Amino acid sequence: MRGKVLGGESTFVLKRIALFVGIAVAVLIVTFLLPLDIAVGTLRSWAETGGAIGMVGFGTVYVVLALLFVPGAALTMMAGAGFGIVRGFLIVAIATSVADATAFLLGRYVARNCILRLLDRYPRFKIVDRAISLGGWRIVALIRLNPTIPYSASNYLFGVTGVAFLPFLISSGIFTIPGAFAYLYLGYVGAETLGGSNRNPVEWILLVMGLVVTILALLYITVLARRGLAELESDK
């Protein structure tokens, strides 16, 4: 049994690595086909001149797009590319918390019946709902640490489960950090590359090494989260 689990995890890691490589290749192709350097330069210029108003504006757009199921990874990479890691993290931390709370409350009090009708097609959701009801914030943490689970959709789904609002919001905010940092860093490195930053070779080596370590750490955390969710599901 353990061999099957380890084999499954190895396959998953290889698929994740292949996915990251595929994304990198796609970015390179798009870079040659589209003037991304101009787009990144415009975004950075706007972020530098916009100040606090620019940060609030970007954060507002982030919240709206997240509620409309735009992938949070893409939005977070844009924040890293335009605002850098520190300011980008501040924006993402606040924007994701607002989006989490809004989607959760919409799912619980506005769109609950509609969501439940859709979930009737997926019997497995009842197992997840039971696990969340028993595990509370711990299940939220494991799901947040697993970036393969759609972020925006899960916010609405949490609203129709038995988890309380405050534990959900706190756990979601804390355990979103590893994935958010990884995508922020990826966006930042991409912007530095496209922007033709005047860094010396040592700085570039350190920058790339940091990116590789970040991706490997995210993969490791994802494997642990998947293992935890699988154990919980097998116990039900």
| pLDDT tens digits, 169-204 | 999 999 888 888 888 888 887 777 765 555 555 555
**19, part of any domain:** no
Instruction: Identify whether 7 is part of a domain.
Output: no
For residue 221, is it within any domain?
yes
How many structural domains are present in the chain? Answer: 1
Q: Which two tokens stand for residue 41?
A: 């330069």
153 lies in a domain? yes
Structural domain boundaries, residue 171? 32-235
Q: Is residue 20 part of a domain?
A: no
> 78-88 pLDDT, tens per residue?
898 889 889 99
Give the model's pLDDT for residue 34.
57
Query: Is 57 part of a structural domain of the chain?
Result: yes
pLDDT of residue 68: 92
Calpha distance 98→106 (Å, rounded): 12
In which residue ranges of the chain is pLDDT below 50? 1, 3-5
Quote the CA–CA distance of 176 and 147 in Å, as a whole number.
9
Q: pLDDT tens for residues 157-176?
A: 888 888 889 999 999 999 88
Cα(202)–Cα(206) distance, rounded to whole angstroms? Answer: 6
Angle between helices 201-235 and 137-144 (to 10 degrees): 140
According to the model, what pLDDT value does residue 95 have?
96
User: Would residue 4 count as lying in a domain?
Assistant: no
User: What's the confidence (pLDDT) of residue 83?
Assistant: 92
User: Dmax of the chain from CA atoms?
Assistant: 57
* pLDDT attached to residue 50: 82
Any domain includes 71:
yes
